[in-house]
A and B are shown apart, each in its own frame.
Chain A
Amino acid sequence: MIRRNILAGMTAALALTAVQGTAALAENPVLKIGFVGVTSGPAAAWGISNQRSMETRAAWINEIGGYKIGDVTYDIEIVSFDDQKDPKRAIAGMERMAQEGIHYVVGPNVDNGAAAVRPVAEANGIMYFPYAFPKELYTAPASNAVLGMVANYQSGPAIYKYLMAERGVKTAAFIAANESDPLSQRDSGRAAAEELGMEITSANVTYQVDTTDFTPVLTPVIRTNPDLLVLSGVSPANAPQLIRSARELGYGGIISTETAQDAQVLREGAGDLANGFISVGGASTPEIASDMMKEFVARYTDMFGEYNDESNTKVYALEYILATLAADPAGIDDVEVFKTAMDTFEVPNPYMKGDAVMRYVGMSSFGQRRQVAVPLVVNVFQDGEFETLFVAEVD
């Protein structure tokens, strides 16, 4: 694994250098797209899967000659900034994007970072695609943020309804890290569960982000014996440890989360104990992945050594930006044109089989189209792999 990672890292670095070098030498003009997110520390997996998804897709586009927007074919360059999950750094990152003349940015990954960059983005004409859930970012008068994934207040009720109808779930307990994102996800998840008629047996227990042993944390929760244990906003690093501790404490009910997870991480960290774990995924399960999605996974794996299942949802933001610009090329320098194009934008979803489309949604949740229509794919982990439990749509 070490050698593979080193080789992959070196290959990726060389490939990126080559891409940048090619971009400088090629005739195509360069379109810069930004990324501001967390690529270091405990939550690095979230941002790195974002960044690598963008870099994989950009390298792929450049390799086949560029991306045509109007009459011009562009090479794509990804400009990245690690905000270290710190709102102050996120602001600095967004300011750097503005200095580079970038109008389209993916990220930040967390609530407080996404809220912090809003004034900078609005003042500098930047559209940004956060992976953060506060509704204020997407409801008027805010108009520059576009939610890059399905929010937990959209996926949670769908999962709970399914579990109540199909598995007879009546009681639930929530546990979350003591951070703004997981806590807000816990609160909205709890409200949704209560509205559906579930009894909540425990929702006060939280844990420190850097917790490594969850047995003491989970003991009081497991004693309430809920039918469903919800790991609100759980990071991929913590999920296997929480699952393992819960099962070792004798918990036999269903465990779920509304965040995206990685199958290999679950396999290594919890093994068979993770069987039945329900999470939100993207479009890479065999049942729904298109040939383009399969090629994306293969290219990502070639470039970085191994795939990250979180990229199933994170592949979309860059695709949406480019396709929307293609729909109205004047948006390249004017985000107001981009916003207008969002209302009618609709193209086939290249990453899913069937009739799925890429369009902007969010009228129900935000009163305006400020969310990408990522498929709501609910997965269940079984014997080392994700299987699709059900697929739904959000509006």
Chain B
Amino acid sequence: MEQVVANGVYLGSQYAMIALGLTLIFALMNVLNFAHGQMYVIGGFVTYTFYGQFEVPFLLALLMSCATLAILGALIEKFLFGPVIRRSAREESTMLLAAGIAFLLDAVILLVFGEKQRGVPKIVDGVFNWDFRIIMPYDRMLICGLAILSIGAFIAFMQFSRTGRALRALAQDRTAAQLMGVNVNRYSMIGFALGAMLAGLVGGLLVTITGVNLGMGGPTSIKAFMMVMIGGAGVISGAIAGGFILGMLEAVGLAVLSQYGDITYLVIFIALMIFLAIRPHGLMGKPWG
């Protein structure tokens, strides 16, 4: 039981981090960013390149991932999503654009980083073993701690910084925020960059545990959408709750249902469909509560 809870917390922390960026972008721009998983993968590859290949310190490599994705996100918003949102009233235009960007990034990843699975040296050696009741490698515990710290820092940034307040205002009511003097175009770009940066951060953190390959993007996006649906689209606390709930469900399912084969996600999907039929807005309701 203790192992299941530990696995659930660990999975939940990384899932919550993945969902945060996606839900932020949705809250600010009403864009379903299907390329979020690919951004996560690029973050992993950047950390792999700097930490694994050029042997720069891990934290510096992580910063490089964050910076790369923030710049990429800002450029994508400025030159792709921004113009499309301004010119098209149809929501599916941004969805198609996001899908196109996902395919493009997949192709770029293949060209730049190759088809192979990549991994980096462990950042901490050793395994925590509490009488075989909880077995957890130290690097997972560290990454879990860093993920939770990052989530806390992000919430604090959104609550207490001027930029965070502007982003929240933008998410609550775009027109009202503009009337109050918020530069909508500028903060949309900052918000998208922040969302992409979160994807890069979690990609960089997790490459030390899971490695990275070009095929991880699509499945990561799907899981992120599931978390957002559980927690409520566009709600930061919902994304965090959705991440931890999915992580815990997965850990429990893998422990309890493993003897019946790989039915954990089948059960989760069925539960999710029933849940959404009852509560279509997810746990936390409308954007920003």
Closest to B135 in A: A249
For chain B residues 96-117, which have a beta carbon within 8 Å of chain A?
Answer: 106, 110-117
Report the minimal beta-carbon distance from A37 to chain B, rounded to whole angstroms. 12
A208 touching B265 in the complex, CB below 8 Å, given contacts A44-B110, A219-B3 = yes
- Distance A82 CA – B201 CA, assembled complex (angstroms): 31
A-contact bits for B245-289, CB 8 A (1 contact / 0 none) = 000001100110011111001000000000000000000000000
Complex contact B114–A306 (CB within 8 A): yes
> Which of B114, B135, B219, B258 lies in contact with A250, CB distance below 8 A?
B135
Report the minimal beta-carbon distance from B260 to chain A, rounded to whole angstroms. 7
Segment with Cβ contacts to B, from A103-111, A199-207, A321-329: A199-207
Complex contact B119–A204 (CB within 8 A): no
A-chain residues with CB within 8 Å of residue B255 when the two chains form the complex: 216, 219-220
Report the minimal beta-carbon distance from A338 to chain B, rounded to whole angstroms. 31
Segment with Cβ contacts to A, from B84-92, B160-168, B208-216, B233-241: B208-216
Report the minimal beta-carbon distance from A83 to chain B, rounded to whole angstroms. 15
- Distance A294 CA – B258 CA, assembled complex (angstroms): 45
B231 interface residue (CB < 8 Å to A): no
A1 interface residue (CB < 8 Å to B): yes
Complex contact B7–A216 (CB within 8 A): yes
For chain B residues 107-143, which have a beta carbon within 8 Å of chain A?
Answer: 110-122, 127, 129, 132, 135-137, 140
A368 interface residue (CB < 8 Å to B): no
B52 interface residue (CB < 8 Å to A): yes
A217 touching B254 in the complex, CB below 8 Å, given contacts A236-B117, A271-B122 = yes
B49 interface residue (CB < 8 Å to A): yes
For chain A residues 231-283, which have a beta carbon within 8 Å of chain B?
Answer: 236-238, 240-241, 248-250, 262, 264-265, 268-271
A-chain residues with CB within 8 Å of residue B219 when the two chains form the complex: 42, 209-210
- B49, B114, B127, B210 interface centre (most CB from chain A within 10 Å): B114
B61 interface residue (CB < 8 Å to A): no
> Which of B7, B52, B115 lies in contact with A44, CB distance below 8 A?
B115
Complex contact A41–B215 (CB within 8 A): yes
> Which of A41, A250, A269, A308 lies in contact with B211, CB distance below 8 A?
A269
Closest to B256 in A: A220
Overall SS of chain B's interface: helix
> Which of A9, A41, A208, A269 lies in contact with B218, CB distance below 8 A?
A41
- Distance A204 CA – B260 CA, assembled complex (angstroms): 7
Closest to B264 in A: A208
B11 interface residue (CB < 8 Å to A): yes
- Distance A301 CA – B162 CA, assembled complex (angstroms): 52
- Distance A204 CA – B89 CA, assembled complex (angstroms): 51
Complex contact A250–B209 (CB within 8 A): no
B-chain residues with CB within 8 Å of residue A45 when the two chains form the complex: 115-117, 213
A180 interface residue (CB < 8 Å to B): no
A148 interface residue (CB < 8 Å to B): no
B-chain residues with CB within 8 Å of residue A308 when the two chains form the complex: 115-116
B19 interface residue (CB < 8 Å to A): no
A196 interface residue (CB < 8 Å to B): no
Complex contact B259–A204 (CB within 8 A): yes
> Which of B49, B215, B262 lies in contact with A207, CB distance below 8 A?
B262
> Which of A40, A49, A250, A268 lies in contact with B118, CB distance below 8 A?
A268
B69 interface residue (CB < 8 Å to A): no
Complex contact A6–B214 (CB within 8 A): no
A-chain residues with CB within 8 Å of residue B258 when the two chains form the complex: 204-205, 217, 220
For chain A residues 2-18, which have a beta carbon within 8 Å of chain B?
Answer: 2, 5-6, 9
Complex contact A178–B261 (CB within 8 A): yes
Complex contact A248–B137 (CB within 8 A): yes
- Distance A219 CA – B134 CA, assembled complex (angstroms): 11
A213 interface residue (CB < 8 Å to B): yes
Complex contact B7–A2 (CB within 8 A): no
A90 interface residue (CB < 8 Å to B): no
A73 interface residue (CB < 8 Å to B): no
Closest to B223 in A: A210
- Distance A2 CA – B265 CA, assembled complex (angstroms): 35
A215 interface residue (CB < 8 Å to B): yes
B206 interface residue (CB < 8 Å to A): yes
A212 interface residue (CB < 8 Å to B): yes
Complex contact B49–A268 (CB within 8 A): no
Report the minimal beta-carbon distance from B222 to chain A, rounded to whole angstroms. 8
A357 interface residue (CB < 8 Å to B): no
Closest to B14 in A: A213
Closest to B7 in A: A216
> Which of B110, B118, B216, B250 lies in contact with A42, CB distance below 8 A?
B216
Complex contact B210–A213 (CB within 8 A): yes
A268 touching B52 in the complex, CB below 8 Å, given contacts A204-B259, A219-B255, A250-B135 = yes
Complex contact B262–A208 (CB within 8 A): yes
Complex contact A178–B262 (CB within 8 A): yes
Residues in B lying within 8 Å of A, measured CB to CB: 3-4, 7, 10-11, 14, 49, 52-53, 106, 110-122, 127, 129, 132, 135-137, 140, 206, 209-211, 213-216, 218-220, 250-251, 254-255, 258-262, 265
| Extra 14 A-B pairs, beta carbons < 8 Å, given A5-B113, A205-B259 | A2-B112, A41-B218, A42-B215, A45-B117, A204-B258, A208-B262, A213-B10, A213-B14, A219-B135, A265-B118, A265-B119, A270-B119, A308-B115, A308-B116
